[in-house]
Amino acid sequence: MADTKKKASAKKKTAHLKKLVIVESPSKADTIKKYLGSGYEVKASVGHLIDLPRSRMGVNLETFEPDYIVMRDKSKVMKDLRDAAKNASEIILASDPDREGEAIAYHIRNHMNEKVLSKIKNRVVPIRRIKFEEITQPAVLEAINHPIEIDTRLVNAQQSRRVIDRLFGYQLSPLLWKKVKSKLSAGRVQSVALRIICEREDEIDKFVPVEYWEIKGHFKSKKHALIGELSKIGGKKAEIPNQETADRIEKETLAGKSSIGNIAVRQQSRKALPPFITSTLQQAANNILGYSSIRTMMIAQELYEGINLGSTRTGLITYMRTDSTRVSPIAMEAVRKYITDNFDKGFLPDTPNFYANKKSAQDAHEAIRASDVALHPDKIKSYLTPDQYKLYNLIWRRFVASQMTPSQTETYTIEIENGDKLFTASDSHTVFEGYQAVYQFSKTKKEKMLPRDLKKGDELTVTKIDKDQKFTEPPPRYTDASLVKTMEELGIGRPSTYAPTIFTLTKRYYIMKSGKSLTPTELGRVVNKLLVDNFPDLINVGFTAKMEDELDEVEEGGKEWKGVVRHFYEPFTHVLTKAYEQIDNLKGSFDEETEFVCEKCGKKMLKKLGRFGYFLACSGWPDCRNAKPLPLGRCPKCETGQVVKKKGGRGKYFYGCSTYPECDFATFLEPSKESCPNDGSVLFNKREKGETKLICLKEGCGYEKPAE
């Protein structure tokens, strides 16, 4: 009887308790609150709460056991969650559906069991794990009704990556501090990415342009005029190395007889692209919208976590960290119905389009797609920021297009024969739009249609020859898009690491962005050389890719995580010890005496390499701590001050006079290393119509010359 009363009393006490749902971000919490009733309380962990300590290694170097702590800046968040857990009937862990999210759930569960739930008497508070690919009401409610166990394989995969990255960074970075400069860093993936960028820059530096010429002929028949490009000489690809050859070909062509050769019509079918995965989304957003990888992922996170659409808040896209092109059957059915309802017959294939995944794809998540295909971007544009609209529009269109029929184009080619020379002219036009009715972001030039009534053998007259001198171009510098594509192809990093890697390299000033191009700084090249010279087997594409594969095997349950860590660490520590003994001390080796004198103490100023590039510092340091930007040349306005690099609004750099505010000269053009022969002021680089010129900005001078 007493037991029955006790149980009834306990039941009465828990009747008013709420279920506590813990997610990662506040905006995600706001969205989910709208879907769950008053019986739920939703709170955010704001990312990781428990991690390795920042002030020390935090890893046992013999057992590789991590020493996790509640992060100092998250102690208040953890206390708030503990307080909420004390008064909860159930704890539901709803962190993101990936390795990091699984680790967050794992650490919160262990902490709550130890610090809170073990001290609650007379009732049991269950802890459950849920996952959902999209933050919509049906998806969240479905997950709530079907909780799962925490996946220890995912947790171990995260732990192994975290521990290896900690061992790598916390043991290699001090070497850079000691030998090069304080506050530098090295990372397992970032160091290889830096090597790729530096090697491309080396290729550009060593590149020697090769001259070649292009020739076009203007031809006329009785009714028509057309232009053909010289494509073959003697049946082989036309190669014109110099003006002498070009002049000879011009003379021969004008003297020779011309006639129509073969006429060909070719139909071409182009299939739709698969829906986005993380890497292709970052590439498309960079190429089409000009967004950096980190900016793309931040906007995608907002779209995933939920946007207020009037009276409702909903997640607009599925989870944005994925390497799978898979689409759920429900979403597939919805998009096919949308195409049927909104497009004419012929735009929907008879069967769904399926796309192959790459070998390393985990297939744990769907492709990145619109959560509800009925939410056309233009329909909800007023609720989105410009950035959100542009990215959602890109994702929505790619998803819909991926389930449409191919586009059809027709190419019409006319060959013009002149002795042993063959000129070709062609045009191309779309016969059927197919998927391009939805996904077409490139600007297509309207080609002038060639005449369709010419026949083989028709005689032509040569009216003019155009000769154009060209030079081969060096390989292009990497952009966010091309670097992500290269990293993916080489197997370096995974979807969650591409954007942070580029961001870290920029933040450390190892690389700079000029437009879209990624250029290594002097500091980046020095750090890269030191690492590559002394750790060729670690700062290595093959090694890093193999390591990623082994870490994936941990996630799949094929390898034990500590074994993978040991396999990395034993050779690593041997090479590290050897490097400490052999690497020359590079500190101060970049210092260079200048003619500038310190205005505070009268000693010579040194040109020094800092974290953000070169600057001037007094040689009397530490007694005199005078430092200032490096002068880049005489100011073209006042002719007494020096042009220096300055930081403007929103982190943008510009160049201004060192005597400001006395002289207000300012420009975004980059100074060169050359001076104007007229007034001695520095010349600036100006790109115009595809060519770079050096120009003088002194009013009334007008001096300019081609840049070398």
Could you report the per-residue pLDDT of 441-500, keeping only the tens digit for each?
A: 877 667 788 999 999 999 999 999 999 999 999 999 999 999 999 999 999 988 889 999
Q: What is the pTM of this model?
A: 0.85
The confidence band for 534, taking pLDDT boundaries of 50, 70 and 90, is confident
Contact (CB, 8 A) for 514 and 501: no
d(CA 303, CA 220): 57
Q: How many CB atoms lie within 10 A of CB 93?
A: 25
Contacts 24+ apart (CB under 8 A), 559-567: 561/156, 561/157, 561/159, 561/160, 562/63, 562/64, 562/160, 564/160, 564/164, 565/64, 565/160, 565/163, 565/164, 565/167, 566/64
Per-residue pLDDT, averaged over 183-200, amounts to 92
Torsion of CA 241, 246, 248, 253, to 10 degrees: 130
Smallest CA-to-CA distance from 128 within 109, 103, 152, 104 is with 109
d(CA 216, CA 261): 17
Q: How many CB atoms lie within 10 A of CB 316?
A: 28
Please tell me the predicted confidence (pLDDT) of residue 592.
77
Contacts 24+ apart (CB under 8 A), 204-208: 204/474, 204/475, 204/477, 207/474, 207/475
Percent of the chain with pLDDT over 90: 69
What are the residue boundaries of the structural domains of the chain, listed by start?
18-150, 157-207+476-582, 211-271+407-471, 278-401, 592-706
Tell me: pLDDT of 323 over 70. Answer: yes
Instruction: List, for residues 392-411, the tens digit of each pLDDT value.
Output: 999 999 999 999 999 999 99
Encoded tokens for 376: 């056309």
278-401: CATH topology: Topoisomerase I; domain 4 (1.10.290)
The confidence band for 3, taking pLDDT boundaries of 50, 70 and 90, is low
Helix (H, G, I), strand (E, B) or coil at 217: strand
Q: Please report, as a single letter, which amino acid is at residue 386.
A: P
Please tell me the predicted confidence (pLDDT) of residue 621.
86
Please tell me the predicted confidence (pLDDT) of residue 599.
87
Task: Name the one residue in this structure whose structure tokens are 């701590």.
Answer: 625
d(CA 97, CA 363): 12
Please tell me the predicted confidence (pLDDT) of residue 147.
96
Instruction: Choose which CATH entry (3.40.190.10, 3.40.50.620, 3.40.50.140, 3.30.70.360) describes domain 18-150.
Output: 3.40.50.140
Tell me: pLDDT of 89 over 90. Answer: yes
Please tell me the predicted confidence (pLDDT) of residue 448.
83
Instruction: List, for residues 256-294, the tens digit of each pLDDT value.
Output: 999 999 999 999 999 999 999 999 999 999 999 999 999
Encoded tokens for 455: 């026949």
Strand-pair partners of 464: 218
The confidence band for 11, taking pLDDT boundaries of 50, 70 and 90, is low
Smallest CA-to-CA distance from 701 within 672, 681, 673 is with 681
Smallest CA-to-CA distance from 262 within 456, 395, 439 is with 456
d(CA 605, CA 591): 10
Please tell me the predicted confidence (pLDDT) of residue 363.
59
144, containing H or E segment: helix 137-145
Q: Determine whether domain 211-271+407-471 maps to CATH 2.70.20.10.
A: yes
d(CA 26, CA 35): 15
The confidence band for 182, taking pLDDT boundaries of 50, 70 and 90, is confident
Tell me the C-alpha to C-alpha distance, in Å, between residue 256 and each of 349, 421, 447, 463, 466: 52, 10, 29, 12, 16
Task: Name the one residue in this structure whose structure tokens are 């990312």.
Answer: 47
Contacts of 285 (CB under 8 A, 6+ apart): 291, 293, 295, 296, 391, 394
Tell me: pLDDT of 5 over 60. Answer: no
Active site residue ranges: 319
d(CA 318, CA 305): 9
The confidence band for 596, taking pLDDT boundaries of 50, 70 and 90, is confident
Instruction: List, for residues 126-148, the tens digit of each pLDDT value.
Output: 999 999 999 999 999 999 999 99
Instruction: List, for residues 656-681, the tens digit of each pLDDT value.
Output: 998 899 999 999 998 998 999 998 99
Please tell me the predicted confidence (pLDDT) of residue 389.
97
Tell me: pLDDT of 1 over 60. Answer: no
463, containing H or E segment: strand 459-471
Helix (H, G, I), strand (E, B) or coil at 91: strand
Instruction: List, for residues 324-341, the tens digit of each pLDDT value.
Output: 999 999 999 999 999 999
157-207+476-582: CATH topology: Topoisomerase I; domain 2 (1.10.460)
